[in-house]
Amino acid sequence: MEKIKMEPKEFWEDQKWGFKHYSELVRKYPDQWVAIRDKKVVASGDLAEVELEAKRKTGKEDIPVIFVESGSHIYRLRK
């Protein structure tokens, strides 16, 4: 049976920091993905690029990445 890999404590602390500072992130990174390490944004932009850049810059695999939505999107439900 394969073991489930748990994210390190730092991952959860960085993710919590991102959500706590979400309003600041919306002003700086609207409608972008952001990667957070050591309670700061280390990469922003398109998802695939952000993940690669964050790993390259930090040398870490476990980096929280969140989408910072500006709230300007309009969603339409289809019937």
Cα 29 from Cα 31, distance rounded (Å): 6
| Residue 62, in any domain of the structure | yes
The structure's pTM equals: 0.82
Cα 54 from Cα 35, distance rounded (Å): 6
DSSP 35: E
Q: List, for residues 34-44, the tens digit of each pLDDT value.
A: 999 999 999 99
The boundaries of the domain holding residue 24 are: 9-68
Q: List, for residues 2-41, the tens digit of each pLDDT value.
A: 888 888 899 999 999 999 999 999 999 999 999 999 999 9
| Residue 74, in any domain of the structure | no
Residue 74 has pLDDT above 70, yes or no: no
Classify 46 as helix, strand or coil: coil
Question: Which has the closest alpha carbon to 66: 10, 74, 56, 37?
Answer: 37
Q: Which residues pair with 37 in a beta bridge?
A: 40
| Residue 3, in any domain of the structure | no
Biggest alpha carbon–alpha carbon distance for the chain? 46
The count of structural domains within the chain is 1
| Residue 79, in any domain of the structure | no
